[in-house]
Amino acid sequence: MYISGVGRTKFGNLSDNLQELAYEAILNALDDSNLDINEIGAIFVSNFLSGPLNGQLHLNSMISSLIPGINIPIIRVETACASSSVAFNQAIYCLQNYSNILIVGVEKMTGVGLLPTTDAISMAGDRTYDFPNGLIFPAAYALIAQQYMLKNNINHDILELVSYINHQNSRLNPLAHFYYKEVSKEMIKNAPMIASPLNLFDCSPISDGAVAVILSKNKTSDRDVKVMSSKIATDTISLTERINLTSFIATKIASKQAYKEAQITPADLDIIEIHDCFTISELIALEDLGICGASEVSELIKNGDILRDGPFPVNTDGGLKANGHPIGATGLAQIFEIVAQLRQETEKRQVDNPEIGLAQNIGGIGGTCGITILGV
C-alpha cells in the first residue's frame, strides 16, 4: 500500500474555522495526488476536541457537507493525541475494500480561552482521580521529567537543547506554528516555570490546523511513498497505574511490532518524527524506540546525532514543540513530514537521501501509541 497524496494547512493561532481547515487540507492532498475525489472510497476523520471546544460533533457528516454529492462511508476516530495515527492504522484495514481512502485530521483549539481548553485537553487523562487532584498534563509530565532526570543524572540543560533544536528546525518550515519566531537559548533557559522542572519552552503550543493523507492500495505515481508498517498499542490511562514512569510501554510494544513487520532495525531509520508534546517525551522516545540504550540519550543529543545532518535526524519539521500540536492532526502531520522528506521536497530542511522514516504518535500520557514506518 502507498501514500499517494498529502496536504496540510499552516499550524498556529488561525482565523479559519473547523470546516475551512479540513477543506483546505483535503484539497491540498487531492491536488498533490493523481486522484479525483470520486476515486476516494471512504474517509476517516481524526479529531479530539471539536465537541467540547467547538460544539460540533458528527464530523462524519460535516466532512460530507464539504464534498457535495459524495455519499461514501465516513468514520470519525478519537484516541486523544494519537487520533490521526490510529485513524491511519484503521484505514489500512479497510483498504481491502477500497482502492483509495482519505484520512483527514483537524483541530480548532484557539479562540475559546485557556481554562476551557485546559479542561478539554485533560479529558485525555484520568478524570476520576488524577485531574481532580491537580495532575493535569504539565504536572504529569513534570513528574516524569523529575524521575527521568534523577535516574539518568541529567539537568534541565538537555531539555533546553531539545527545545532549541526543534525551534531551529521550525524556522525552516513555512507551515510551522513557530516559523516566523526567533527563539534563542537564553529565551528557553529563562522562560517562566510551568511545572518544575518544565518551563514554557518545554511545552508544545495550542495550535489550530489540519492535515489530509490519501492511502492507496496500488501505486499511482513515482512520488508515492510505501507504507511499510502501522502498529498501535495501549497502556493504562493514569500514571498511578504504572510501575515505570520513565518509559512508555505502548511505544516499545508498537515499535517492536512495526520493526518486525517492516523487516528493519532502528539503525535503518533515516528520519524520525517523535511526539514531543513535552521535551522530556523526546528523550524517553529515543530510548523506547531503540535508537539508543538507557542513559545514552543525553550524549546522543549533545553530540548532534539528532540534527538534520546527524545519523538520526529528529523532528525536522519542528516537532509538536515548534511545528505545532493541533491534536487531531498531529500524527498525520508527522506522516506529512516524512513523506515530504522521502520525496526530497523539503528544501532547506531536507535530510540527505532518506529512504526510511518512522513516526511515533502518543495519546495521553503514553496511553496510546501509533507507530508508522514509511519507505521509498
Percentage, residues of the chain above pLDDT 90 = 95
Query: Residue 65 to residues 19, 21, 54, 349, 361: CA-CA distances in angstroms?
Result: 9, 14, 17, 37, 29
- The owner of cell 491511519 is 88
- Evaluate if residue 146 carries a pLDDT over 90: yes
Tell me the C-alpha distance between 25 and 283, whole Å: 31
Give helix 59-66 / helix 18-32 axis angle, nearest 10°.
60
What is the tens place of the pLDDT at every residue in 291-332? Answer: 998 789 999 999 999 999 999 999 999 999 999 999 999 999
Give yes or no: 81 in active site. Answer: yes
Give yes or no: 58 in active site. Answer: no
pLDDT band at 114 (very low <50, low <70, confident <90, very high): confident
**For range 269-286, the mean pLDDT:** 98
The pLDDT score that the predictor gives to residue 113 is 85
Tell me the C-alpha distance between 15 and 108, whole Å: 10
What is the tens place of the pLDDT at every residue in 47-90? Answer: 999 999 999 999 999 999 999 888 999 999 999 999 999 999 99
CB atoms within 10 A of CB 209: 32
Q: Which amino acid is at 24?
A: E
Tell me the C-alpha distance between 22 and 8, whole Å: 9
Tell me the C-alpha distance between 184 and 71, whole Å: 50
Q: How far is CA 273 from the centre of its chain?
A: 7
**For range 130-143, the mean pLDDT:** 94
The pLDDT score that the predictor gives to residue 238 is 93
Residue 374 DSSP class: E
For the domain made up of 2-113+207-216, give the CATH fold: Peroxisomal Thiolase; Chain A, domain 1 (3.40.47)
Task: Tell me which residue of 132, 131, 197 sits closest to 162, measured CA to CA.
Answer: 197
Of the listed 167, 177, 275, 325, which one is catalytic?
325
The pLDDT score that the predictor gives to residue 180 is 87
Domain ranges of the chain: 2-113+207-216
- The owner of cell 519566531 is 181
Percentage, residues of the chain above pLDDT 70 = 100
The pLDDT score that the predictor gives to residue 70 is 86
**For range 135-152, the mean pLDDT:** 96
Of the listed 81, 203, 292, 369, which one is catalytic?
81
How long a stretch of residues is the chain? Answer: 376
Query: Residue 127 to residues 43, 70, 120, 135: CA-CA distances in angstroms?
Result: 31, 39, 11, 9
DSSP codes joined into one string, 202-239: GBPPP-BEEEEEEEESS--STT-EEEEEEEEEE--SSG
- Evaluate if residue 136 carries a pLDDT over 90: yes
- For the chain, the average pLDDT equals 96
Q: What are phi and psi of 247, to 5 degrees?
A: -155, 145
The pLDDT score that the predictor gives to residue 294 is 79
Strand arrangement of the beta sheet that strand 356-363 belongs to: 74-77, 42-46, 100-107, 209-216, 2-8, 225-234, 368-375, 356-363, 271-273
The pLDDT score that the predictor gives to residue 226 is 98
Q: What are phi and psi of 214, to 5 degrees?
A: -105, 120
Tell me the C-alpha distance between 67 and 252, whole Å: 39
Which residues, listed in sequence order, are joined to residue 359 by a DSSP beta bridge?
Answer: 273, 372
Q: Which amino acid is at 105?
A: G
